[in-house]
């Protein structure tokens, strides 16, 4: 074995320069003696010349493996010897094959979902998914601005108390990475009629509205209309029963808008004493409604639109809408009777932020003031401030944030509502 190893090393040495240091300087101390080699017979250099390709034959394969083992031992020593040579000496560069690097496959970054909003118009709740995790999302609508932080999944829910539900301007939403500018589409259910199996509502013109009836066996369909006032008759397909909930929704790339009927919607009257006007809502769509004011039946039959609504100006009949007036409205299925309550709007001061009036509504009855404003010089209002309050001892009064300079007040009114009516009174004094 010793002789064969010596022969193989000599064979390998034939392929290299004869100027290399003696082998005893390349091998660790005592290695030459252990191998039984004559240090004066074999010399190698750090410059290797390519060997001719040889055929692999069993006769030299074992020897070649032993020679490679010696060379592997010599490589660290070549590096050590080269680093200690005189920088001015002419040396031949050593070429060492680059080690094979194992590249660990990396998973491409996950696809970031495009941000999207969902707005429930029946509760004025805004939620979002696909926004930057842990970021602050800012909503700008008209002159209003609110913010909310997303969770670690890039989601958020903005409650109805915080969402700026107002204005005719587009809603701008941004998290610093993405920005959406969306129009807030109209969507509402104004009537669910179990007797006729009819659902009516409002949407944008030609907007496809998806409808779901949540019964024992949920039923889904869709509807649209050129005017936006739609009516859906499902009598041939589904039996709507009292207590069922109806949901509607519209889709766009950036936003889904939903509305839920909750309990069945009942007919109602809208009363505006200041302009002697009665509004109808929740009645049968495209149906006649008989209206009686203080015992006088209107001579002209009133027809509701596809949403079950209509507005009647009493002045054309020589009638007025006063506190204490008795109103009834009847269609083939429903009848609503209301005694007009007392409600006046006496004081509005935008500088000090004070508003007040009188009412005969019971203590604790909820009211709301709307103050419609716009930047000075604008042609119409594009924002409003809503203030909630309650009636107490024949009065209503509240304070609000004074209207900032540079803004004009276009209109302000106070509204109160019951189960089957609402009443609205505009402020009739000066807004200057």
pLDDT over 70 at 249, yes or no: yes
pLDDT in tens, 389-416: 999 999 999 999 898 888 999 999 999 9
Task: State the pLDDT at residue 75.
Answer: 41
pLDDT in tens, 297-351: 998 878 998 878 899 999 999 999 999 999 999 988 889 999 999 999 999 999 9
Task: State the pLDDT at residue 5.
Answer: 52
Same domain, 283 and 335: yes
Structural domain contains residue 90? no
Task: State the pLDDT at residue 184.
Answer: 84
pLDDT band at 14 (very low <50, low <70, confident <90, very high): low
pLDDT in tens, 216-232: 889 999 999 998 989 99
Name the residue among 420, 266, 280 with its Cα closest to residue 341: 420
Same domain, 252 and 279: no
Same domain, 191 and 236: yes
Question: Of the candidates 233, 260, 287, which is a domain's last residue?
Answer: 260
Question: Of the candidates 148, 182, 216, which is a domain's last residue?
Answer: 182
Q: Report the alpha-carbon distance of residue 275 to residue 115 in Å, rounded.
A: 45
Higher-confidence position of 7 and 223: 223
Buried b / exposed e over 161-198, threshold 16 CB at 10 Å, is eebbbbbebebebbbeebebebebbbbebbbbbeebbb
CB 323 within 8 A of CB 358: no
The pTM for the full model equals 0.60
Structural domain contains residue 432? no
Same domain, 26 and 56: yes
Task: State the pLDDT at residue 10.
Answer: 58
Same domain, 134 and 174: yes
Task: State the pLDDT at residue 11.
Answer: 57
Structural domain contains residue 105? no
pLDDT over 90 at 157, yes or no: yes
pLDDT band at 108 (very low <50, low <70, confident <90, very high): very low
Same domain, 311 and 377: no
Structural domain contains residue 111? no
Question: Of the candidates 260, 283, 312, which is a domain's last residue?
Answer: 260
Q: Report the alpha-carbon distance of residue 300 to residue 291 in Å, rounded.
A: 9
Name the residue among 227, 186, 191 with its Cα closest to residue 308: 191
Task: State the pLDDT at residue 297.
Answer: 95
Average pLDDT over residues 5-20: 53
Number of structural domains in the chain: 5
Task: State the pLDDT at residue 271.
Answer: 97
pLDDT band at 22 (very low <50, low <70, confident <90, very high): low
Task: State the pLDDT at residue 4.
Answer: 55
Among 129-138, 139-148, 257-266, top mean pLDDT goes to 129-138
Q: What is the CATH number of the domain that holds 224?
A: 2.60.40
Full residue range of the structural domain in which residue 387 is found: 347-426
Task: State the pLDDT at residue 147.
Answer: 93
Same domain, 325 and 373: no
CB 414 within 8 A of CB 367: yes
Q: Which of 77-91, 274-288, 341-355, 361-375 has the lowest mean pLDDT?
A: 77-91
pLDDT in tens, 46-85: 444 343 333 334 444 444 444 434 444 444 433 443 444 4
């Amino acid at each position: 074995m010793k002789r064969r190893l010596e022969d193989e090393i000599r064979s390998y040495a034939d392929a290299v320069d004869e100027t290399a240091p003696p082998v005893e300087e390349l091998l660790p101390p005592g290695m030459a003696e252990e191998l039984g080699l004559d240090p004066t017979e074999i010399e190698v250099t750090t410059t290797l010349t390519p060997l001719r390709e040889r055929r692999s034959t069993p006769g030299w394969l074992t020897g070649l493996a032993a020679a490679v083992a010696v060379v592997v031992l010599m490589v660290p020593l070549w590096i050590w010897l080269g680093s200690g040579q005189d920088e001015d000496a002419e040396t031949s560069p050593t070429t060492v094959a680059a080690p094979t690097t194992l590249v660990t496959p990396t998973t491409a970054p996950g696809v970031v979902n495009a941000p999207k909003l969902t707005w429930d118009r029946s509760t004025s709740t805004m939620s979002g998914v696909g926004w930057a995790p842990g970021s602050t999302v800012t909503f700008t609508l008209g002159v209003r601005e609110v913010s909310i932080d997303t969770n670690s999944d890039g989601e958020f829910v903005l409650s109805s108390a915080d969402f700026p539900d107002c204005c005719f301007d587009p809603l701008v939403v941004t998290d610093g990475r993405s920005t959406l500018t969306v129009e807030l589409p109209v969507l509402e259910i104004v009537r669910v009629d179990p007797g006729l199996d009819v659902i009516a509502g409002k949407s944008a013109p030609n907007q496809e509205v998806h409808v779901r009836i949540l019964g024992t066996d949920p039923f889904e369909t869709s509807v649209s209309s050129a005017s936006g006032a739609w009516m859906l008759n499902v009598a041939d397909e589904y039996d709507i029963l009292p207590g069922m909930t109806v949901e509607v929704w519209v889709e766009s790339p950036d936003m889904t808008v939903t509305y839920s009927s909750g309990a069945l919607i009942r007919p109602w009257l809208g009363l505006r004493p200041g302009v002697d006007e009665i509004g109808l809502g929740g009645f049968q769509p495209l149906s006649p409604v008989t209206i009686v004011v203080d015992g006088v039946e209107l001579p002209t039959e009133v027809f509701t639109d596809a949403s079950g609504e209509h507005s009647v100006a009493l002045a054309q009949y020589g009638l007025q809408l006063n506190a204490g007036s008795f109103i009834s409205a009847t269609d083939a299925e429903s009848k609503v009777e209301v005694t007009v309550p007392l409600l006046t709007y006496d004081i509005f001061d935008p500088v000090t932020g004070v508003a007040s009036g009188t009412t005969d509504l019971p203590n604790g009855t909820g009211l709301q003031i709307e103050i419609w404003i716009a930047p000075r010089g604008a042609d119409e209002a594009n924002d409003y401030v809503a203030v909630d309050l309650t009636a107490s001892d024949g009065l209503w009064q509240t304070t609000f944030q004074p209207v900032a300079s540079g803004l004009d007040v276009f209109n302000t009114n106070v509204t109160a509502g019951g189960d089957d009516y609402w009443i609205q009174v505009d402020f009739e004094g000066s807004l200057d």
